[in-house]
Chain A
Amino acid sequence: MPDATRQLPAKFDAWFAGRGWSVHPHQQAMLDRASDAALLLIAPTGGGKTLAGFLPSLVELADGAHQGLHTLYVSPLKALAADIKRNLRRPVDDMALPIRIEDRTGDTSYTQKRRQRADPPHILLTTPESLALLISYEDAPRMFAGLQRVIVDEIHALAESKRGDQLMLALSRLQTLAPGLRRVGLSATVEDPPAIARMLARHPDPCPILLADPGPAPDIAMLQTDAPPPWAGGGANYAIPAVLEAVKQHKTTLIFHNTRAQAEIFFHNLWLANTDDLPIGIHHGSLAREQRERVESAMVAGQLRAIVCTGSLDLGIDWGDVDLVIQVGAPKNVKRLVQRIGRANHRYNAPSKALLVPANRFEVVECVAALQAVQAHDLDGDPKGAGPRDVLCQHILIAACAGLFYADDLFAEVCSVGAYAGLTRAEFDACLDFCATGGYALRAYDRWKRLLLTADGKWQLRDPRAALRIRMNIGTIQDTDTLKVRLKGNFKPLGEVEESFAATLTQGDTFLIGGQIVRYDGLREMTVEVTRDASKTPKIATFMGTKFANSTQLSQRILRMFAQDDWPQLPAHTAAWLGLQRQVSKLPEVDRILVESFPHDGRQHICVYGFAGRNAMQTLGMLLTQRMEEMDLQPLGFVATDYAVLVWGLKPVTDAAPLFRAPDLRAGFETWLSGNAVMKRTFRGAATIAGLIERNLPQARKSGRQATFSSDILYDTLAKYDPNHLMLQITREEALRGLVDFGRIEEMLARTAGRVDHVGLERVTPLAMPLFLEQGRIALAGAGRERLMEDEAAALMAKVGLPAD
């Protein structure tokens, strides 16, 4: 129950009054409920949400009586921690409160970190990974003993990933170290607040939810341009003059992109067209820290008119006077769109202003559907599954780093985390056994167990030096292996690219990074060496950004729109494009699967429109190509988008309907699961989190020669000799839920019930065209690939006059 309305101390009243502010109702409510064990606040960005979270801490600390750590603030972003520190200093300094505030992230210096453990500040601002590291130290009980409050900011963002699970496991540890700990969650608008509340509270504690006034409806529209968007591609180049014009008309504009590569290309082209030299910056996760920080501080100082950015700016950093948000590319997910729009106009009660810029004609349709959904307040989202066990394995290793522990105690603690409330003791013991012995059917590591059971029943590390390696590999962010990019002879890196991207580069290739074109010179000590290049057309930077799957709700809206006779709500060019598709082929329908087949560029293609979201369509691609392999159609590869999968191969498909028989697909799914690339990628992620594969080694990586081998080999070996191993169970579970998403394939099969329309064509159709420019093509290792390799080998040997065999 809330306490009676709490009066703010006079000092605070005076401070609010001095700034011409009054306390928002939800800020007052947070104060009134300050003694609740758990509390969730849902408020739009700019509603004084962070201050609402901190106000009770500031009041409690105002008399200077509390010694040591009082409040822990956890946010998903390092930048957010730094930003909050800046903003929190203002009231603290203005009121001369005796409060020490510090941040602690991966970027904090070693000396500073050591000092923080010995003498923690009153308020510590950190990230889930830095917190996990903190609880791995033996002195954690001393550091956290007096902890009163923990504030989890942007909890809706953490809830979507394993970072949230790791954080909640860490909080269960903190709750043991500081039994009186109160939890506060701050969230943007979400579709299912009670789910977030269950995640936050100690199970089975209740968690009241406070809803702040959502403010006026956003002013949101699709950007009108003279030039129509292209048939395909993600660059939105056509919109650059109109975007520049919009930037000129506003004080500060955020220009969001869905991937880093798109952000880079757009930024580059924006600068080529920026004849007025408007100050415009770029910000994304692949850029070097120095460069990101430069942009952040220029933004805070009001020196930039626009920032081209990705999800790295998604969260609630206060960038000051942003008065326009532009979303380039389809938003994929209505909830995320609403949250991004909320970044504009931080003055409460002023409507946010946003423009959607579709990158191609299909995205025009997606944007219109998303606009309709926003107007209907139709947020989307999928329920989250049980707590992932790879994260639990890492948590067990972290516990072992901190000191000896009883399995019973740790199990009880873990079960107090909402997501792990249903964990059975057997499941927990399997994770513990994995950490201790590897958990293999072949008990091979008797002498080299990682954890040992002491005589009095406690678990401990066999070799205390292992703690160093475990700490170095803490975290659940699944970044692919990246390489630093450096200008030749220059020490400071420009940023990072994926190893797989670097592997495709040959000397002289050019690509974009940090808004400039560079030429690849070579790989040196795991660093990509480049020189500046004056050319204007780079080889595209394909390093990854987040790829979101289109939500079910949005897909359904699009299909409903396709069914219309004409499309008055769409721009003429897009309506004409859909009309053309209807004329040369068909438009996909809700209750039928449309398959188009056509030759292109020397390969036979089929394009399957299933509208099941990117992950499920990817799985469908796997299953279809497996069946095609069995039928000797020699498929070579495929690429999936949210709405379709495009398969290419050496032989044409004459009748597609048999490919979609549900029982065959399901049976194929079982055999397929064990041996496919998505599973291997999922395995790599899970095995890395669980501590089977180390991302970071104590000595810096040298040349990689002979030292590393592919995690695929580990997967294949396990699948062959130990198919029930914990890591394979986790991989399967996770693939089913996320990357594989067989649930949405089932949903597609149910809604289409075997109705397959196969249209044979002479050339690529309007609707299939965007797929040819999609990234993320998956090459298959089947008969077709073998034939291609043999042909290429024979051709090369013939050229030099050697016999091929």
Chain B
Amino acid sequence: MNSYAFTLCGTRCQALPSGALWLPEAGTLCVSDLHLGKSDRIARRSGVMLPPYEVQETLDKLADDIGATDPRQVICLGDSFDDLAAADSLDGAMRLRLTSLQAGRKWVWVEGNHDPGPVDLGGSHLAQIEVGTLSFRHIATSATAEVSGHYHPKHRLAGRSRPAFVVDAARIVMPAYGAYTGGLDCMAPVIRQLFGPRAFAILTGHKALAVPLA
């Protein structure tokens, strides 16, 4: 198996190499910071037209994870859309794609700072959600047993920097899942200070690789 298994506050978790989090007992798959429609927003605001394939690329990846885990519930942990207008301008094919991914399972859009309102795309829209012992919200708080996103953490190992989960006994900060998302080194104070001394990072890529954080 290429994923990395661990337990957070009594709930079994698997960090998948794609950057998704799988909770086998609850049948829940969680992804964060999809930033769908980012190229649309950039074109609208600046005139620069990036390759308009990032929605397709991101949904392809998500479809693979859903196919592999067959979740009862999918949580999109905020910043699923680059902004609400980008959600509205999603083209027909991609809407259909999302609908087919949603079919037969519960789908939750957790609100993020980029997408603070409900979207016209099926699923329920929530500020946060509890699954088992864990709370899921977009931005980390001081609460424990918490899964959040927002910071797009990355970690450097053997000279390579990759999107990474950051984990300690109290919380998980998820890597950004979207195709056009940059990242912030998880040793940056704004991320590192969320965690205790015995934190570790799980790098995404070919195989989920766990490494302790200094």
Task: Report A's interface with B, CB cutoff 8 A.
Answer: 437-438, 440, 442, 444-445, 447-448, 450, 461-463, 466, 469-470, 691-694, 703-710, 713-714, 717-718, 720-722, 725, 779, 781, 785-786, 788-790, 792-793, 796-797, 799-800, 802, 804-805
Contact = CB atoms under 8 A, between A and B. Distances in A.
B49 interface: yes
Nearest to B180: A709
Interface stretch (B67-75, B97-105, B126-134, B206-214): B206-214
A721 B209 contact: no
A122 B103 CA distance: 73
B51 A725 contact: yes
Nearest to B42: A448
Nearest to B184: A705
B54 A448 contact: no
- Between B48, B160, B179, B183, the greatest number of chain A beta carbons within 10 A of the residue's beta carbon is seen for B48
Interface of B: 1, 4-5, 39-40, 43-44, 46-54, 56-57, 89, 91, 152, 157-160, 176, 179-184, 188, 198, 200, 203, 206-207, 209-212
27 contacts: A437-B49, A438-B50, A440-B51, A444-B40, A444-B91, A445-B40, A447-B89, A448-B43, A450-B49, A462-B47, A469-B46, A469-B48, A692-B48, A694-B48, A706-B181, A706-B182, A707-B182, A714-B50, A717-B54, A721-B51, A786-B206, A786-B207, A789-B203, A792-B157, A792-B158, A796-B211, A800-B212
A721 B60 CA distance: 12
Given A694-B46, A713-B180, A793 B51 contact: no
Contact of A799 (B47, B89, B212): B212
A797 B4 CA distance: 13
Chief secondary structure at chain B's binding surface:
loop
Contacts of A721: 51, 53, 56-57
A692 B39 CA distance: 11
A805 B4 contact: yes
A466 B47 contact: yes
Given A706-B181, A720-B57, A792-B158, A463 B47 contact: yes
A462 B182 CA distance: 28
A706 B183 contact: yes
Contacts of A805: 1, 4-5, 210
A725 B52 CA distance: 12
B51 A708 contact: no
Contact of A797 (B47, B53, B160, B211): B211
Contacts of B176: 706
Contacts of A466: 46-47
A448 B49 contact: yes
Nearest to A470: B47
A706 B212 contact: no
Given A691-B48, A793-B157, A802 B210 contact: yes
Contacts of B54: 717
B179 A789 contact: no
A553 B41 CA distance: 52
Given A717-B179, A789-B209, A793-B209, A438 B52 contact: yes
A779 B161 CA distance: 13
Q: Which 5 A-B pairs have the closest CB atoms?
A: A438-B49, A444-B52, A709-B182, A466-B47, A448-B43
Contacts of B182: 704-710
Contacts of B57: 717, 720-721
Given A444-B39, A713-B179, 19 more contacts: A438-B51, A440-B52, A442-B53, A448-B44, A692-B48, A692-B49, A694-B48, A705-B182, A706-B181, A706-B182, A706-B184, A707-B182, A717-B179, A722-B51, A722-B53, A785-B158, A793-B210, A796-B212, A802-B210
Contacts of B47: 448, 450, 461-463, 466, 469-470
B53 A717 contact: yes
